[in-house]
Chain A
Amino acid sequence: MDKKKLILYIQSALCILWVMLMAAAAIHIYLEGYAYQAQGHPEVWIYTREKAAAVFGRYLPVLLLAVAANIAAVVIGARDENQDKPVADPELISLYKSERETASSDKNNSVNDKKLNILRLVLFAFAVLFVIAGVFNGSMEDMLIKAVNICTECIGLG
């Protein structure tokens, strides 16, 4: 197999492996901790800094290998050249062409342009009115209150 292709596959495998290992470790820590808590120890922490550090440290070599593979790929210029190629599916190509044609014919229509401009102005006026109404009805302050306080569950802490 071509050296460049090989490194792309190795890199993919390392990325997938690292993500799977980290995800599995998180699930494992949770299940283990939850089971212990359920045995009458609600005060025991499921996650601890030490556990997190241990997991990260255990799988750090995989991450480092992925970084090394990344560097190697950059050095030898390995990349999926197909990503820069245009779509080849004939069905999609004809879809794009017809869509472009429709869009252009819409653009040529000055009545449509006028309608869009009017809609834009109306929506803009509504948006400004909403902001002003929000300042007076307290929703602006509401937003500030929520933005300066952390809801632990909302960010995934629990």
Chain B
Amino acid sequence: MDNKDTEKNLWWDKCRPSRRRLIQLYSAVLYNAYAKGFIKGEIYTGNTKLMCVPGFNCYSCPAAIGACPLGSLQNALASSGSRAGFYVFGIIMLWGLMLGRTICGWICPMGLIQELLYKIPTPKIRKNKATHALTYLKYFFLAVFAISIPLWYGLKHGKAVPGFCKFICPAGTLEAAVGLLSNPGNASFFKMLGIFFTRKFVIMLLIGLACVFCFRSFCRFICPLGAIYGMFNKLAVVGVKVDADRCTHCGACAMNCRMDVRHVGDHECVSCAKCMDVCRQGAISLKAGKVTLIAPSCGCADDKADSEARRAKGKRIAWGVAIAVLAFALLWYNVLDKSGEAEAAAGSAGAAETETDSYAAGGELADFTIECTDGQVFHLGDYRGDVVFINLWATYCGPCVEELPYFNELAGEHAEDAVVLAVHNSMSKDDIPAYLADKGWDNLRIALDTKDKLVWNTVGGGSTMPQTIVLDRKGKVIYNHVGSVTADLLAKLYEQASADTD
């Protein structure tokens, strides 16, 4: 009996989650407290998305309650033509100055996923000169994909192209794309999958596989956010610090570290504090300024006030507060908070019915009237007998801007019996007429949706863009889908809308 108990204790001692793992898990759940989003297949649209979370967490994940700092940064850079993204720069700087890469080690959900993948028992690739060299790759990803591409497209073409999100980000593919696709209500999202999805899905699989064999591969070699926070590591208030008086420069800390650190606290150090276990001098501790958060296990920390009992009490209080906060967050976001609900309801269940088969099967839109940017009024009822295309777009949506020239061409070609109404999302800080001035989309009727989202609600628009609705000559909906369209598809839809009523 005793032996069994001892065995059980040994197993538990070996396998129980560390404090850091619990904090990683805690922050992942807290960042994604809107669990209801997965059930509804929609993203959270409340005001807490005004705040960037410190870690890497896609803001299009159905459960995300905050904004992704990297996605926000790219979008801020893409909007540089109209206004500088001071807010995002400021928040990222604040997180960097307060926590540096401690964020990567303790409160980044992507870090947690990578470490769990690394737990899969396979032969492992340890750090070496090649991995040291590869760490500089993330600065390339930062410079090219997260900074240059958004800036180039934003300033040169007036188009939002968040390069890293669009071409690489595995968090976006896993949390947002797969997260949204896995909801049965979003079955029609499959319609828009093509080369982008294929490429990003394969990249996600390969990054995941790399993480199985090589510790935190994404974090070490690719993550632009880690590259940014790394630059703040020396300045960060919280982080692993070395007591220079105790340190014998044996190098055991760096030799045993799985990250590519050259010395503790450098730009690769994620302050996981594992090096404390191998430092025989007890020179390493995790500190917030002068306060010791984790003291060396040899008990030789200089903080006399940090007695064992006080620390234990502090720990209990901290965990109590943390659990209360998490419980409140879960309750608030899933039960009490109604922000965004009205919108979703008005949007006829945004995702669930957005590209509904009922519409496609011949539903009829309610009549509406809206004022266009040229001052004229668009009244849907006036276009009975014509083919009507309604496109939901926004200046800050790259694919929306990309496909509008196709609509413009189509409207020009079939001016006599087709009309295209492009309705901009009501949420905009841009001057739409000024934006349109040099676009040459003269064949389109363009309108800014009303504050109460008249058109959006009428056609069942959700938070996903672009969306296209096609009405045949009798006013019946023959197509209502989220996602980009091609010129070929538009031509086909025009033919179909004409044929349906011939």
Contact flags B115-138 to A (C-beta < 8 A → 1, else 0): 000001111101111001000000
B191 is an interface residue with CB less than 8 A from chain A: yes
Chain A residues, CB < 8 A from B90: 126-134
Q: Which chain B residue has the least Cβ–Cβ distance from A52?
A: B190
B72 touches A147 (CB 8 A): yes
A150 touches B76 (CB 8 A): no
Say whether, besides A45-B190, A142-B75, A151 and B251 are in contact (CB < 8 Å): no
A96 touches B242 (CB 8 A): no
Chain B residues, CB < 8 A from A22: 205
Question: Which of B86, B198, B244 interacts with A133 by CB under 8 Å?
Answer: B86
A131 touches B192 (CB 8 A): no
A142 touches B85 (CB 8 A): yes
B86 touches A97 (CB 8 A): no
Contact flags A9-22 to B (C-beta < 8 A → 1, else 0): 10110011001001
The interface size of chain A toward B, counting residues with CB under 8 Å, comes to 89
Say whether, besides A123-B97, A128-B90, A131-B87, A155 and B120 are in contact (CB < 8 Å): no
* A108–B243 CA distance with the chains assembled, in angstroms: 10
A152 touches B483 (CB 8 A): yes
B176 CB to closest chain A CB, in angstroms?
4
A157 touches B263 (CB 8 A): no
B129 touches A12 (CB 8 A): no
A149 touches B205 (CB 8 A): no
Say whether, besides A108-B244, A143-B76, A157 and B83 are in contact (CB < 8 Å): no
Question: Which of A16, A27, A154 interacts with B165 by CB under 8 Å?
Answer: A154
B453 is an interface residue with CB less than 8 A from chain A: no
* A17–B17 CA distance with the chains assembled, in angstroms: 30
B154 CB to closest chain A CB, in angstroms?
12
B193 touches A137 (CB 8 A): no
A119 is an interface residue with CB less than 8 A from chain B: yes
Question: Which of B181, B197, B486 interacts with A42 by CB under 8 Å?
Answer: B486
B194 touches A148 (CB 8 A): no
B432 is an interface residue with CB less than 8 A from chain A: no
Say whether, besides A73-B121, A91-B129, A134-B87, A157 and B255 are in contact (CB < 8 Å): no
Question: Which of B128, B177, B264 interacts with A92 by CB under 8 Å?
Answer: B128
The interface size of chain B toward A, counting residues with CB under 8 Å, comes to 120
Contact flags A110-143 to B (C-beta < 8 A → 1, else 0): 0000001001100110111111111101111111
B469 is an interface residue with CB less than 8 A from chain A: no
B65 CB to closest chain A CB, in angstroms?
10
Q: Which chain A residue has the least Cβ–Cβ distance from B78?
A: A146
Chain B residues, CB < 8 A from A83: 124, 126, 215, 258
Which of A116, A147, A156 has most chain B Cβ within 10 Å? A156
B79 touches A116 (CB 8 A): no
A137 touches B173 (CB 8 A): no
A80 touches B124 (CB 8 A): yes
B172 touches A143 (CB 8 A): no
Say whether, besides A15-B122, A83-B126, A103-B242, A130 and B87 are in contact (CB < 8 Å): yes
* A145–B483 CA distance with the chains assembled, in angstroms: 18
B434 CB to closest chain A CB, in angstroms?
14
Question: Which of B75, B197, B247, B486 interacts with A100 by CB under 8 Å?
Answer: B247
Question: Which of B58, B202, B484 interacts with A155 by CB under 8 Å?
Answer: B58
Name which of B41-49, B296-304, B321-329, B414-422 contacts chain A. Answer: B41-49
A87 is an interface residue with CB less than 8 A from chain B: yes
A36 is an interface residue with CB less than 8 A from chain B: no
Name which of B18-26, B423-431, B441-449 contacts chain A. Answer: B423-431
B40 CB to closest chain A CB, in angstroms?
13
B465 touches A150 (CB 8 A): yes
A153 touches B43 (CB 8 A): no
* A55–B376 CA distance with the chains assembled, in angstroms: 51
- Considering the complex, which residues of chain A in the window 33-87 have a beta carbon less than 8 Å from any beta carbon of chain B? 33-34, 42-43, 45-49, 52, 66, 70, 73-74, 78-80, 82-83, 85-87
A116 touches B234 (CB 8 A): yes
A153 touches B196 (CB 8 A): yes
* A11–B215 CA distance with the chains assembled, in angstroms: 17
Q: Which chain A residue has the least Cβ–Cβ distance from B132?
A: A92
17 residue pairs A–B, Cβ–Cβ below 8 Å: A12-B123, A30-B198, A47-B194, A87-B256, A99-B263, A104-B244, A104-B249, A120-B97, A143-B49, A148-B45, A149-B427, A152-B464, A154-B162, A154-B172, A156-B173, A158-B193, A158-B197
List the 6 closest pairs (A to B, CB-CB), nearest first.
A134-B87, A130-B90, A156-B200, A131-B90, A127-B93, A96-B251
